Amino acid sequence: MKFNTKTIHGGQKHEEATGAVMPPIFQTSTYAQSSPGVHKGYAYSRGANPTRTALEDSFAALENGTHGFAFSSGLAAIDCILRTLSPGDEVIAGDDLYGGTYRMFTRLFMKYGIEFCYVDMNVAANVGAVITEKTKLVWIETPTNPLMKIADIAAISSVVKGTNSDILIAVDNTFATPYLQRPLDLGADIVMHSATKYLGGHSDLVMGALIVKDAKLAEDIHFIQFAAGAIAGPMDSFLALRGIKTLHIRMQRHCENGKVVANFLKNHPEVGMVYYPGFENHPNHLVAKKQMKDFGGMVSFKLKDDSKEAAFKFLESTKIFTLAESLGGVESLVSHPTTMTHGSIPEPERLKIGITDSLIRLSVGIEDEEDLLADLEYALNQ
């Protein structure tokens, strides 16, 4: 199947008992057994639930994987990956990460003896330069949150696997979605999504996803998911599966509007800098053009007035762009990374990579572009 067809039919089958086109919501915790240990594939919903299975099969199809897993949140999915490690193991990660990921790395897993090394992944060689015998995982986020850096997944995979083929490569594909890039095809071992965002697409659920190809890795992930219990429930699984069916048409509009908004901001006299991989002067524009179908609906920018007061005035003035956490829904959102999504990162670390008080992040929705531009124009002139 082509991708647009996969969003609707990938990994899916009609429900056997009734022929229902959409998988029913199996709102049950347990299942009848004809004899101890003899059942129809389901024993207890922490281990598996038919609605969740349908969603996980869809995840796998979209990313060209063989096994998908639905978690209670994106951070629960990341937690599962880190639980495959042991004290003394090292993780190499990008220097621009979602604040919740950084918080989990530094405040949870460092105290269990996991070590973390942060590098600028704009250059693949930077990753190879810090690999040691302790390195067990490379964590890639691309495009990054919130500075829209682009990592060359294929190049990094080549460097890492050329050094040690046992090192796992995981990619947070939340900003791009499988509509724009598929990391497993580029050499990664694990794809992670905050399915709360574009996969769900309607700001009505919280969920995480992992997708892999390797059967042994899938077995390990399923065991951790079952043992730790951070599963997605059947109602959220149903909502996510419904959202996925329109992923391709939503992403097309997100990309179209994102491009218009980025160009508007680039030419506005009140704006100092725009972070958008679709611009030819973006440091890794050619990489983005090579590995992504389009450039997405996420845009970050700084005001010429590089102060928190100017940023707050803008943030308090938008009407269509809603000031809120999260991203990837049909509605446009605006956020302030230093006080919201990246508030858990110490200020010196934020400033080191360019996350200043005037940095503003937009999740450009699928509204009419003229209304979005009018809203931005109004807020910028307050």
Which listed residue (98, 102, 179, 275) is catalytic?
Answer: 98
Which H or E element spans position 200?
none
Which listed residue (172, 189, 294, 357) is catalytic?
Answer: 172
What type of residue sits at position 336? H
Please answer whether residues 236 and 191 qualify as being in contact, where contact means their C-beta atoms are separated by less than 8 angstroms: no
44: DSSP letter? B
Which listed residue (6, 52, 182, 197) is catalytic?
Answer: 197
Question: What phi-psi label fits residue 40: left (phi over 0), alpha (psi between -120 and 50 degrees) or beta?
Answer: alpha
What is the maximal distance between C-alpha atoms in the chain? 73
Please answer whether residues 138 and 127 qualify as being in contact, where contact means their C-beta atoms are separated by less than 8 angstroms: yes
Specify the length of the chain in residues. Answer: 382
Strand partners, 38: 35
108: DSSP letter? I
Please answer whether residues 209 and 77 qualify as being in contact, where contact means their C-beta atoms are separated by less than 8 angstroms: yes
Distance CA 63, CA 272 (A): 37
Start-to-end C-alpha separation, the chain: 49
Structure tokens belonging to residue 50: 């038919």
Is-catalytic flag, 46?
A: yes
Q: Which value, to the nearest 10 degrees, does the dihedral of the CA atoms of residues 171, 172, 177, 182 take?
A: 0
Is-catalytic flag, 197?
A: yes
Task: Give helix 50-62 / helix 234-244 axis angle, nearest 10°.
Answer: 30
Checking DSSP bridges between strand 90-94 and strand 135-141, what pairing results, if any? Answer: parallel
Which listed residue (31, 42, 46, 290) is catalytic?
Answer: 46
Structure tokens belonging to residue 113: 């003896």
List, by residue number, the catalytic residues: 46, 98, 172, 197
